[in-house]
Amino acid sequence: MKKWIQAMRLRTLPLAASCILAGAAAAQIDGHFNALILALTLITTFLLQVLSNLANDYGDFSNGVDNERRVGPARAMQSGLISQQQMKSALVITAALSLAFGIALLWIVFSKQARFFEAILMLTLGIGAIAAAIKYTVGKNPYGYRGLGDVFVFLFFGPVGVLGTYFLLSGDLAFHTLLLASTIGLYSTAVLNLNNLRDHENDRTMGKRTLVVWMGFRNGKIYQTMLIVIGTLCLLLWLWLHTSEPMAMLTLIPAGVQCFLLLNMWRTEKPAALDSELKKVALLTFAVSMLLVLA
């Protein structure tokens, strides 16, 4: 059990929950809430995140990226704790569970309404999320090796996650939540970019062409700064336009700390030293969404 918990990387779940909680908070502000729908949405999202983590472990090891030069915690297949066949089986089981919980969620949301088009659209997005989680590093031409990981992280942790949650809870698409979705999406992309900044030397050697490999270490830092600053500005604008709740303004504290952490990044010249910053950015993103829910 311990080796599977390690492979699942449960520490990544708070970041995965951030987009769901942010969407739920926006729906609550507009008077929509359903505890069962929110719980099933979180479970489905957690399963998708675990699927992505397992697929990342499998794909990076199969492609030789997880080696002795890699910075950060050793992964399960890299350490020899889990075999290739065992990981394949785990991927199939986790994908099936993700699909099952996703269908159960859609049944509860749409079974009493004649909204078949919306149900099919959400199911298609769910299947797309499963495919995206696997295809990030798995296969002959994974998109994570072509600099497209940032785009998919922004989309699924931002607009798809936040607007999708709002839609499941309210039955409507509220495009004013795009600002909030952009904040969560940009912060989540910043977590990925820190990971790529940390690993860029080994990634370049092994042919994994992340955006940082394409643009270089210094430009990757500039890109990180833009992600955090623009994400914070989107949050400020959303708060100004959409809520007067005093407690919601507390989200500016973790958002401000995000900006302050950029100083640590700029002072860091050794990529390995960025490993400790990953957890901070992820937890601060989670703090923003939790404070919105509490507000």
Residues 206, 211, 217, 223, Cα dihedral to 10°: -160
When pLDDT is averaged across residues 164-177 and rounded to a whole number, the result is 89
pTM above 0.75, yes or no: yes
Calculate the alpha carbon distances from 182 to 100, 132, 201, 204 in Å: 29, 19, 29, 29
HSE, side-chain direction, 13 A CA sphere, residue 63: 26
Q: Residue 272 — pLDDT band, cuts 50, 70, 90?
A: confident
CA 242 – CA 245 distance, rounded (Å): 9
What pLDDT, on the 0 to 100 scale, is given for residue 143? 87
- What confidence score (pLDDT) does residue 202 get? 83
Tokens representing 255 are: 């958002």
Percent of the chain with pLDDT strictly greater than 90: 55
Q: Is the predicted pLDDT of residue 204 greater than 90, yes or no?
A: no
pLDDT score of 68: 59
In the block, which residue shows the tokens 């092994």? 206
Confidence label for 66 from pLDDT (cuts 50, 70 and 90): low
Q: What single-letter DSSP state applies at residue 47? A: H
The pLDDT, as a whole number, for residue 249 is 87
Cα separation, 186 vs 175, in Å, equals 17
pLDDT at 244 over 80: no
The confidence score (pLDDT) of residue 10 equals 87
Q: Summarize the confidence of residues 267-295 as an average pLDDT.
A: 90
- In terms of Cα–Cα distance, which of 292, 290, 286, 284 is closest to 254? 284
**Closest-CA residue to 13 (of 58, 55, 52):** 52
Model confidence pLDDT, tens digit, residues 138-151: 877 888 888 888 99
- Among the residue ranges 42-46, 62-66, 130-134, 264-268, the one predicted with the least confidence is 62-66
Contact indicator for 23, 177 with CB cutoff of 8 Å: yes
pLDDT at residue 65 greater than cutoff 80: no
pLDDT of residue 69: 61
- In this prediction, residue 72 carries a pLDDT of 60
Residue 265 has pLDDT above 70, yes or no: yes
Q: Is the pLDDT of residue 73 over 80?
A: no
What percent of the chain clears pLDDT 70, i.e. is strictly above it?
96
Read off the pLDDT of each residue in 229-248 and give the average, rounded to a whole number.
Answer: 88
